Chain A
Amino acid sequence: MRVTFPHMGDTWIGVKAMLEYLDVEVLMPPPCTKKTMVLGSEHAPEFACMPLKLNLGNYIEASELGANTIMMTGGCGPCRLGYYAQVQDTILQDLGYSYKMVVLEPPEKHITELFSKIRYITGNNSWWKVIKGIHFGYSKIKMVDELNKKACWARPREINRGDTDRALESAKQKIINVEYTKDLSAVHQEVLEIIDQVPVDKDRDVIKIGIVGEIFTLLEPFINFDIERRLGYMGAEVDRSLNLSEWINDHLFLSINKKMRSCKESRMASPPYLNHNVGGHGQETIGSTVLYARRNFDGVIQLLPFTCMPEIVAQTILPGVSNELSIPVLTLIMDEHSGEAGTVTRLEAFMDLLSRKKQKKEVLA
């Protein structure tokens, strides 16, 4: 059994660590590229949402490297993610790839269904070891999230362009290399130091932007044209409304960690604009925008894949929120045809707008 799973930003760092901790052989798809996109969109339904297409590209590329088992998450509606696996499976079969798909999702009938799927992947490991493996992977994800957050703060303030990203890369590599749980906390200290040592100008005036939207477009730099880094270089401190570690805490660990930011908070902030869950992260998109406005952010950017249903609901409602709370919002829709140049131009224009607005506010104050 050679297990692969789809890419979504830095997720692989944690998942790979967890599986290897349990002695499962992992074969990562190569990082997403144009080729992945082309492969995926060629074989996927035209109006499927982008994550489905990129996943499919990942599977095809990983199969060519020898992977034969796919591990992925599912769901039970209303969004399409819950049916990704079944559609991807028929497509892969038609194309002649022989894959076994293991879909981790809330079980149809009984919790034992989920257990037996985990067993299938983890083999003879004891449950205790499985739990330790999950903890090991999760710790890495938490560290990476923490680093990314610090990098978002440092980027617009760095003295030498590129220092932050160099530090971030070497710190991430250190996390990737950790093999034993006992080494985690030492490495944690080490990587924090690396990123904290980037020379910055603390007093520099920066624009603060919150990023909201669909999780895949938020987390996968290939699809969002590396938006965090770009905005950072344009002088913006970026806050991502949703991190993988928070998502896992909310959805898989049932919010065990009470101190972590939770989607409950943003969902509660979404009425009166959006009064019901609409699947995906639609309600979080509205709620987070409200929260950013309250925290005096300068602007919000919404990211979504073309045809994404929950985000189209949110997109319809956002202009009203933006008006009422006077926070500028830019919506960027990502699909296989979005061009990098066009996106950059729109980001630059948005940055201009935000800085003019900020200056005006300061003059008035």
Chain B
Amino acid sequence: MHETVGIPRALLFYEYYPFWKTFFDYLGIKTIISPNTNQKILEEGVKNCVDEACLPIKLATGHVMYLASRADYIFVPRIVSLAPREYICPKFMGFPDMVRQCVPSGTRLIDTNINLYRHRGEEYRCYQELGKYFVKNPFKIRTAYQKSVKKQEDYCSLLKKGLFPEQAMKAVDRHNVKNKGYNPGGPVIAVIGHSYNLFDRHISMDLIKVLQKKGVNVVTAENLPEETMRSETSILPKRLFWTLGQKMLGAAFHYMKQPEISGIIYVVSFACGPDSMVGEIIERYIKYENTPFLKLTLDEHTGEAGVITRIEAFLDMVYWKAG
């Protein structure tokens, strides 16, 4: 039996791929990953979504469509919550049901609930359920889970060392850490945004590379420990119940106070619900800090030239401020 599971390169792929890959590997299941986003995938996504859906959801749909004809199963977990009393976004909660509308009939979707709303310990139960799709032996699933947890820890610690997901995913298997192009003396800019926006080069127009080529050192929320971000947001009048929002806000609050950070770029999807609120808070706080700030709103109609112009203008301001 050689069944294959397709994993879309979208949404939480950049946060959890090492975990998922290890898990399926150990259970002896072959995985197929959709390629980097290309025009075709984008078009498939746009075609199969309502106009009002945000770009990340459209892209994820495109990736699922790509896999539909190539894998026996498609892994589209219903990610309800990744931390106690927090959520990701209503669209993550409905995503499997949304794509079910457009995949060819007969496509087998694995839509296990991942729901840690009550307790982080629930994670184990969720993966037991996932494992049961393929193997009967709960002990084997447990070992797979433990190995995945370990791998994920390694992956996260690489991110904390300053790597970005793509590099860290490679390094975590090869054990030789090669740091990204660091430019001594160059300004450090914090680029903050959901991982599925920043690290999808098609959506972000390769923003990080573009900045690096201009001699900028880039840091992101991924490079910070979770505790730092959580303690930063404790100044809010009310606990934020979106995990990604928590991360964005925590990272922005942290970086805006660091003297070595010369500016912050905040990347959001057009019409993103949670970020409309989180962004408002960031903008209102950052005014008091006097850190150069650029908000980039991206969707499928965003022109690359315009973005580059805005980045250049922003960098001019950063350099000018630095004197």
- A180 at interface by CB-CB < 8 Å: no
- Segment of A61-69, A259-267, A268-276 engaged in the interface with chain B: A268-276
Cα-based distance from A317 to B276 in the complex (angstroms): 24
CB-defined contacts of A71 to chain B, threshold 8 Å: none
CB-defined contacts of B241 to chain A, threshold 8 Å: 76-78, 82-83
Contacting pair B242 A78 (CB below 8 A): yes
- B239 at interface by CB-CB < 8 Å: yes
With a 10 A CB-CB cut-off, give which of B86, B97, B270 has the most chain A CB atoms. B97
- A31 at interface by CB-CB < 8 Å: no
- B29 at interface by CB-CB < 8 Å: no
CB-defined contacts of A79 to chain B, threshold 8 Å: 90, 273
Contacting pair A45 B97 (CB below 8 A): no
CB-defined contacts of B277 to chain A, threshold 8 Å: 45, 48, 80, 83, 87
Cα-based distance from A277 to B275 in the complex (angstroms): 21
Cα-based distance from A108 to B239 in the complex (angstroms): 9
With a 10 A CB-CB cut-off, give which of A47, A76, A91, A308 has the most chain B CB atoms. A47
* Closest Cβ neighbor of B80 among chain A residues: A276
* Closest Cβ neighbor of A277 among chain B residues: B93
Among B91, B101, B280, contact of A309 (Cβ-Cβ < 8 Å)? B91
- B237 at interface by CB-CB < 8 Å: yes
- B138 at interface by CB-CB < 8 Å: no
Interface flags, A269-307, vs B, CB<8A=1, else 0: 000011111111010000000000000000000000011
CB-defined contacts of B113 to chain A, threshold 8 Å: 276
- A315 at interface by CB-CB < 8 Å: yes
Given the interface pairs A45-B280, A279-B93, the reply to whether A77 lies near B86 with Cβ below 8 Å is yes
Among B85, B98, B111, B239, contact of A313 (Cβ-Cβ < 8 Å)? B98
Given the interface pairs A86-B237, A276-B78, A316-B49, the reply to whether A48 lies near B276 with Cβ below 8 Å is yes
Contacting pair A48 B280 (CB below 8 A): yes
CB-defined contacts of B101 to chain A, threshold 8 Å: 316-317, 319-320
Q: Taking the nearest CB of chain A, how far is it from the CB of B70, in angstroms?
A: 23
CB-defined contacts of A118 to chain B, threshold 8 Å: none
Contacting pair B276 A90 (CB below 8 A): no
CB-defined contacts of B89 to chain A, threshold 8 Å: 78, 309
Cα-based distance from A82 to B236 in the complex (angstroms): 14
Cα-based distance from A276 to B2 in the complex (angstroms): 31
* Closest Cβ neighbor of B86 among chain A residues: A77
Contacting pair B97 A47 (CB below 8 A): no
Contacting pair B272 A280 (CB below 8 A): no
Q: Taking the nearest CB of chain A, how far is it from the CB of B217, in angstroms?
A: 30
- B87 at interface by CB-CB < 8 Å: yes
Cα-based distance from A351 to B320 in the complex (angstroms): 61
Q: Taking the nearest CB of chain B, how far is it from the CB of A312, in angstroms?
A: 5
Interface flags, B101-136, vs A, CB<8A=1, else 0: 100000000010100000000000000000000000
Contacting pair B97 A274 (CB below 8 A): yes
Cα-based distance from A273 to B241 in the complex (angstroms): 27
Given the interface pairs A89-B237, A273-B97, the reply to whether A282 lies near B53 with Cβ below 8 Å is no
CB-defined contacts of A278 to chain B, threshold 8 Å: 90-91, 93-94
Given the interface pairs A76-B241, A86-B237, the reply to whether A45 lies near B276 with Cβ below 8 Å is yes
- B215 at interface by CB-CB < 8 Å: no
CB-defined contacts of A192 to chain B, threshold 8 Å: none
Contacting pair B80 A86 (CB below 8 A): no
Contacting pair A87 B280 (CB below 8 A): yes
Interface residues in B45-85 by Cβ distance below 8 A to A read 49-50, 52-53, 78, 80, 85
Q: Taking the nearest CB of chain B, how far is it from the CB of A282, in angstroms?
A: 7
* Closest Cβ neighbor of A283 among chain B residues: B94
Interface flags, A84-128, vs B, CB<8A=1, else 0: 011101110010000000000000100000000000000000000
CB-defined contacts of B273 to chain A, threshold 8 Å: 47, 49, 79-80, 307-309
Q: Taking the nearest CB of chain A, how far is it from the CB of B11, in angstroms?
A: 14
* Closest Cβ neighbor of A77 among chain B residues: B241
Hey, which bits of chain A sit against chain B, CB under 8 A? 45-49, 76-80, 82-83, 85-87, 89-91, 94, 108, 273-280, 282, 306-310, 312-317, 319-320, 333
Known contacts A78-B242, A282-B94, then 9 further A-B pairs from the complex at CB < 8 Å, ordered by chain A residue = A47-B271, A77-B86, A78-B89, A80-B277, A85-B238, A280-B90, A307-B273, A317-B98, A317-B101
